[in-house]
Amino acid sequence: MPRANDTVSKVFYKGRSEDFIVFIDDLEILQKWKNDRSIALANVLNGWKIFVSHHHGAHGVLDSASNAALENEFGTHNEDECMVKILEGGEYQSSTSREREGGKNDSKGPIGIAR
């Protein structure tokens, strides 16, 4: 059964010392939030976490942003304020994960080997 072919939406913020990423539900709700701040951030974000990519752009291994990294870039380590700044100044990006096949019946053992 194919897996992992979902669309991933994120906002990429190129900082002075780090690259920051937050995941969002979709572009439409992000645009609505930019025009109407009464929409809760929880409705915009897909998870309450800020990631850094260690200067590898929007791709690669993501780590949790440390308080020091947030403080250095945004002048605060308050995640709410940092997320607002990332959503306001970042670039929306969307990608679809490659489809991959999982094992079908691992109890059969290797196929094609004479027994």
The amino acid sitting at 85 is K
Query: Cβ distance 57 to 75 under 8 Å?
Result: no
State the pLDDT confidence band at 49, using cuts at 50, 70 and 90: very high
Question: What's the predicted TM-score (pTM) here?
Answer: 0.75
* CB-neighbour burial class of residue 72 (10 A; exposed 0-12, middle 13-18, buried 19+): middle
pLDDT of residue 4: 55
> Out of 24-38, 63-77, 98-112, which region has the weakest mean confidence (pLDDT)?
98-112
**pLDDT for residue 28 is more than 60:** yes
Query: Cβ distance 22 to 111 under 8 Å?
Result: no
pLDDT of residue 1: 44
Mean pLDDT of all residues belonging to the chain: 82
What average pLDDT does the segment 79-85 reach?
A: 94
